[in-house]
Structure 1
Amino acid sequence: MEPSERSSIPSAGSHTHNSTGGPWEVNDKVRLCRFLCYGSEADTYTAREEARCGLENAGALLTMLQEGRGAEVVDEIKRFSQDGRAVRPGSLFFALAVCSQHSELKTRQAAFKVLKEVCREPAHLFLFIQTKKELKEEMKCGIWGRALRKAVSDWYNEQDAMILAAAVTKCKQREGWSHQDLLKLCHTKPSNEAIALVCKYMTRGWKDVQAAYSDKENSEEVVKVLSYLEVVEKVKHSCDETEVINLIEEHQLEREQLLTDHLKSKQVWRALLKEMPLQAALKILGKMTSSKVLEPGSSETQAVCGRIQCEATLKKAKIHPFSLLLSSENYKRGQGYQGKTKWEPDSEILKATDSAFYKSFMNVEPVGKRFLLAVDVSTSLSSIVPGTSVSTAVAAAAISMIFAQTEVDTQVLAFSEGALVPCSISADMTLAQATAELVKLPGGCTDCTLPVTWASESGKAVDVFIVLTNNPLWMFAASPVESLKKHRRKFGVASKLVMCNLTSTGNAVADTDDRGLVNICGFDLGAFSVVRSLALDLI
C-alpha cells in the first residue's frame, strides 16, 4: 500500500450520510456497523460477552430504516457476513430479521433476497426464524407471509442435495424449531428429485423414504443421497462398536450424527478425532486426555499431534495463533472451567500446540497499516485475562508478536510513569522471550496517552495505536482524544486508538464520541477482528 493512500484522512462520506459532523463523527452508520460487528452500538467491545440482541440496543438500525435507508442496511449486513467481519454473528441475524419485518416493501424484499447468503447453516436459519417470532409483537407484524415462505423454501431448494443431507442430519433442530416445522409451514415444493428426497426424509422419516424410493429407478444423485441417509440411519440404530467406527471412518460422520451412547466409547472418539475439524479437536484435548482417549505415547496422540502441527491442516482450518494460545494454556491448566474434569497435560500435545502457535502466523492476513503497540508495565502483569488461562503478560506478548510478525510497520513499546522503552520483538523470538522483553521496566503510574505523545514527539506517524494495560486505575496527562487529534493534525494521518484493559470485564478506559477510538475490555480472538475492522475504517 502506498504511503499516500494509507495516510489520507477518511472522507466523511465513507461513514456519514448527509452529515456535517466531519470524518470522526459517531453517526448512525458507524453505530450500525459496530452493532453488526460485535452486537453493541457503543465504542466498547467486551470479550466473551454475548447478550441476546434486542430493539432497545439497535437504535441506529431502527433510525436508518425509518429514514428509508433499508437497502443500505441490508447491504452492510451482507458485507459483514460475506467478509467474516462479524465477531458475534447473532447480531447479523437479528438485524436481518428486523429488516425482513419492516413496513417498507423494498427493505423486506432486500432482506429475504440475501437470506441464504447470511444464514448459511441450519442453526443460523433457526435463529433467524425464532428472532422473527420474538419481534412479532414489538414490531406489530406477522411472520409467515408469502415472502418468508418463498425465502425459506429457496433456502432448501438452492442447496446442493448432498450438502443439505449432511447439514440437516447434523443440526436437526434448534431454538425450538425443526426442519419439519419449517418445511410444513412453507409448503415447500422441492426443486428437484434429490432435494425432494431430503425433504421427505425430514418431514416423513426414513421408513416413508424407503417405501417411496426402494423400488424406483433413481438418478445417480438420488442414489448417492439415499445411500448417505441410509448410513446415517444405520449408525443411529447400531449397538455394534466396530460397525459404528467403520461407518464413521468410511463416510466421515461427525459426532452430531451419533447417539449419546456411542460417545461413551473411547474407540468411537478415536475414530472421530481422525477427521474432526481442527478447531473442534483443539477444544476437547483436555476431555480426551481425561477420558484416556489420548494416552501418552499412543498412536492416536501422535496422530493428533501431527495434525495440530501440520502446516497444510493449519492453513486449511485458518487457525489463528491467539486461538492456539488459548487452547494451549487451557490444556496446560489441567482442569476445565466448568464441571470436575481434570487431566494430566501430555508433554507431546503441549509441544505440538506450541509449535503450531508459531506456524499459524501465516494465517493472519496483514492489514497494511502502521501500528504502535504499547504495553503498560506500571503494575504486575501476572493477572489472568478473564475467561482464559492466559496471564496478562503472556497475552500482551502474544498480541505484540502477532502484529510484529504480520504487519511490516509495527513498533512495540513498554511504558511506565513517563518512561518508554522500545522493545525488540523479532521473528526468531519465542513467546517466553517476548514476554521477558516486555516486563523489564519498574512499576509506576499509568498514563495511556504517553505512547501517542511519544510518537508525535519522535516524528513517527502511526495509523493505529494499541495500548494494552491491566491497571483499573489510570491517569491522563492529556485527554486521549486530544492527544490523538494532535497526532492526526501533525502528520495528516487518520490515526486511531485502541484502549485495551486486559483484566476488565466491562469498564472502558476512556469514553469518547470520536469514532477513531475503541475500547476493548478483556481480550479474546474476536478482539483481533474488532481491531482489524477499526484499522480498515469498517466500524
Structure 2
Amino acid sequence: MELSGNTVICSSSNHTLNSKGGGCPWEVSDKARLCRFLCYGSEGDVYTAREEGRVSMEGAGALLSLLQEGRGTEVVEEIKRFTQDERAVRLSPCFFALALCSQHSELKTRQAAFKAFKEVCRDPAHLFSVIQYKKELKESMKCGIWGRSLRKAVSDWYNEQDAMSLAVAVTKCKQREGWSHQDLLRLSHTKPTNEAIAVISKYVTKGWKEVQAAYADKENSEEVVKVLLYLEVVEKVKHSCDETVVINLIEEHKLERAQLLTDHLKSKQVWRALLKEMPLQSVLGILGKMTSNKILEPGSSETRAVCERIQSETALKKAKIHPFSILLASENYKRGQGYQGKTKWEPDSSILKAMDFAFYKSFVNVEPVDKRFVVAVDVSTSLSSVVPGTSVSTAVAAAAITMIYARTEPDTHVLAYSEGALIPCSVSPDMTLAQTTAELVKIPAGSTDCTLPVTWATENGKAVDVFIVLTNNPVWTCTISPVQSLKKHRQMSGANSKLLMCGLTSIGHAIADTEDRGLLSICGFDLGALCVIRNIAQDLI
C-alpha cells in the first residue's frame, strides 16, 4: 500500500501530537536541535530517507542561537564528534556549520573552527565543500573569505598530510564544488613545510613537466623519490592508450577508477583489473553494470573472485559493511535493471548466493548499543509495496530491520499487530530473512495505533528504552497521544523511553510534531535511518 500522506487521528481532542502542553518530560533544547541538524540536516523531529539538499541558514535556527549565546566552541566540538564518530547521516550539515562558525564574529569560535579543519575535513572533497559553503555565506554575513586564518587552516591541511596519502588524494579528487587544489594552494599562499609536499604542490600548480625539470638532477630523499614515482605513474596512465600498460600500472600501483581516463573505462580488461582492489562497497554498487557489460560472466574467474570477496568475513569487517547495505545492493541486483531503466542484466545465481551469505556474515559489523528495544511491525502482506528509492519490499525491509535488533541487541522484543490485536513474535537470532518475513506478515494490516506497543510494555511491566514502530499504513490512530503514552511508560518503568515511528512507504510527510525529544518520525527507510535510531537510543540527538 503506497503512503501518499500520514494522517494522525487521536481519539481524545485534548491530546494531539503537535501539543506543546501536557507536561512533556523532555524539552527539545537548542542543543538537541543542533545535534539533529548535524545528524541529518534538519532541526525537526522528522528524518526523511534519501533526502539530499543544499543546507542553508533557513534551517539552522538553533545553530545561530547557540552562536549568539557565545557557545560557538561547544558547537565546534559537536561538529567534530558527529564527523569523527560517524554520527552524521550526511556530512554537508557539518561542513555548513563549520563554515558558519569560521565566519562568526566571536574570535574564540573562529579559532576553534579553523583549528578543526584538519579533523573534520578528512579528504579533499570535504575541504572543497567547506570552502564553497564559506563562499555562499560571504554575502549574507558581509565578510570576506580568504583572510589570514583561512589561509593558515588550508595551508596546515596540506602540510600536515602524509605525503604519499596526499599524492593519492590530489590525483583522485582533483576538483569539487567549483574548487580545485590549484585554487586552494594559490589562494592560501601555501608554503610547503617539507620537500615531498613541495613536489605535490608544484605538481598541482605547475604541472608534471615543471616537476621533472626541478627534480631530475637533485639528490632526493626516499620519501620524495616515492612521491615522484607515484606521480610519474599517474601521468603515464593519463597519456597511455595501451591497454596492457594501463592494466599493469593499475595492478602494480593500485590505481583507482578516478585516476583513469574515460576512454580507459571502455575496456573490459581495465574494469577487471580495477575490480581486484576496488573498495567492497563500490563493488556492490556496480555489480549490475559489470554483469550487463559481460565483465562478470557466469563461471568466470572474475565472478568467482568477486564472490569470494563478498563472502569474506575479513573483507566485510574491513569495509564495515552493514547488513542493510548488503540487502539494498542485493535486492537491486536481483531486480535486473537500473533505476533509469537503461541498464539491464540477468542476475548471476552465484553472485546472489554470495550476497545472501554476506548478509548474515555482516551482522558482526553492527555494534550493539545495549539498550532495551521493542520492535513492533505492522506491514501489508502485499510484496508489491516497496520502500521508496529502493527495490526492497516493505515486508522484507521490516524483517531485515527486526533481525538487526533481534540478532545484535540481547534485550529485544518483537511484536506484530493490527486492528488492536498485538502478538509477540517468535523471531530468533538464528532465523533467516525469509523465515522472519513469513513470521511478520501473518497478520494483515489495518489501522495502526502507534501507541499499542508502548501500552503493551507498560501493562506487562517491561521497561523499554526504545520503541521502533514499522508500518506502511497511511493512517495512524492513537487512543492517547504518543507523548502521553511515553510519559506513562517512563513513570512506570523509570526508563528514558523513546518512540520512533517509521512509515516505510512514506514520501516525506510528517507523522509527528512534538516538543518531546524522545519522539521522532522516520519517513521511508535507508542506512541513515539506522544511524538516526542509534543516535536517539544513545541520547545523542
Change (3 A) 1:377 1:221: closer
1:249-296 superposed Cα distances (whole Å, 9 cap, x missing partner): 000000000000000000000000001000000000000000000000
Match for residue 483 of structure 1? Answer: 485
**2: CA distance, partners of 1:54 / 1:38:** 13
Which of 188, 192, 195 is the equivalent residue of 2:194?
A: 192
* Among 161, 166, 169, the residue aligned to 1:167: 169
Matches within 5 A, 1:84-123: 84-123=86-125
Give the count of matched residue pairs: 519
The one of 452, 456, 464 aligned to 2:458 = 456
Q: Deviations over 1:70-115 (max 9, x none)?
A: 0110010011111010101001000000000001111000000010
Q: Is the 8 A contact 1:380 1:443 kept in 2?
A: no
- Of 21, 25, 28, the residue aligned with 2:27 is 25
Q: 1:41 is paired with a residue of what secondary structure?
A: coil
Is the 8 Å Cα contact of residues 379 and 444 (structure 1) preserved in structure 2? no
Q: Residue 38 of structure 2: SS of its match in structure 1? A: helix
Q: Distance in 1 between matches of 2:341 and 2:132?
A: 30
Q: In the alignment, which of 261, 265, 278 is matched to residue 276 of structure 1? A: 278
Contact 1:382 1:393 in 2 (8 A): no
Structure 1 residues 16-55: aligned runs within 5 Å: 24-55=26-57
Counterpart pick for 1:389 among 371, 388, 391? 391
- How big is the shift at 1:510? 2.1
C-alpha contact 2:486 2:499 (8 A) present in aligned 1: yes
Partner Cα separation in structure 2 for residue 282 and residue 273 of structure 1 = 11
Deviation, 1:179, is 0.3
SS at match of 2:401: helix
SS in 2 for 1:497: strand
Shift of 1:477: 1.0
The one-letter code matched in structure 1 to 2:131 is I
1:155 alignment partner in structure 2: 157
Aligned partner of 1:538 in structure 2 is 540
Q: CA deviation at 1:329?
A: 0.1
**Could you tell me how far apart the structure 2 residues matched to 1:509 and 1:265 are?**
49
Partner Cα separation in structure 2 for residue 320 and residue 231 of structure 1: 35
For 1:230 and 1:378, locate their aligned partners in 2 and report how far apart those are by CA, in whole Å: 59
Asked if residue 288 in structure 1 is aligned to residue 310 in structure 2, the reply is no
Deviation at residue 22 of structure 1 after TM alignment: 8.3
**What amino acid does structure 2 have at the position aligned with 1:175?**
E
2:228 aligned residue: 226
Residue number in structure 2 paired with 1:501: 503
Q: Deviations over 1:217-273 (max 9, x none)?
A: 000000000000000000111100011000000000000000000000000000000
Corresponding position: 1:334 with 2:336: yes
- Give the structure 1 partner of residue 11 of structure 2: none
Asked whether the equivalents of residues 381 and 441 of structure 2 are also in contact (C-alpha less than 8 Å), the reply is no
Indicate the residue corresponding to 1:399 in structure 2.
401
Aligned partner of 1:524 in structure 2 is 526
After TM superposition, the score normalised by the length of structure 2 is 0.95
**Alignment partner, residue 184 of structure 2:** 182
What SS does the aligned partner of 1:474 have?
strand
**Residue ranges of structure 1 left out of the alignment (5+ in a row):** 1-20
Q: What's the offset of the Cα at 1:377?
A: 3.8
TM (norm. structure 1) is 0.95
1:507 Cα deviation (Å)? 1.2
Residues of 2 paired with 1:112 and 1:339: CA distance? Answer: 45
**Deviation, structure 1 residue 443:** 3.6
Residues 44-76 of structure 1: per-residue CA shift (max 9 Å, x gap):
000000111000100000010011000110010
- Residue equivalent to 2:138: 136
| Whole-angstrom distance in 2 between the partners of 1:417 and 1:514 | 27
Contact persistence 1:470–1:504 (CA under 8 A): yes
Cα distance, 1:472 vs structure 2? 1.0
Which amino acid in 1 is paired with 2:372? R
Look up the SS of the partner of 1:421 in the other structure. strand
Distance 1:287 1:466 in 2: 36
Q: Which amino acid aligns with 2:431?
A: M
- The whole-number CA distance in structure 1 between the counterparts of 2:174 and 2:156 is 18
Q: Partners of 2:65 and 2:356 in 1: how far apart?
A: 48
In structure 2, distance between residues paired with 1:530 and 1:425 = 23
CA distance in 2, matches of 1:259, 1:172: 13
Look up the SS of the partner of 2:415 in the other structure.
strand
2:444, 2:168 → 1: CA distance? 57
Q: Post-superposition shift, 1:402?
A: 0.6
User: Partner amino acid for 1:491?
Assistant: S
Q: 2:374 aligns with which of 372, 375, 384?
A: 372
Instruction: Output one character per residue of 1:342-374: Cα deviation in whole Å (capped at 9) or x when no partner.
Output: 000000000000000000000000000000000
- SS of 1:50's partner is coil
Counterpart in 1 of 2:238? 236
Higher relative contact order (CA 8 A, sep 6+): 2
SS in 2 for 1:340: coil
CA RMSD of aligned residues (A): 1.0
SS in 1 for 2:476: coil
- Overall identity of the aligned pairs, in %: 80
Partners of 1:283 and 1:342 in 2: CA distance? 14
Using the TM superposition, give the Cα deviation of residue 383 of structure 1 relative to its aligned residue in structure 2, in angstroms.
Answer: 0.8
Deviation of 1:381 after TM superposition, in Å, equals 5.7
Q: State the alpha-carbon separation in 2 of the partners of residues 113 and 378 from structure 1.
A: 51
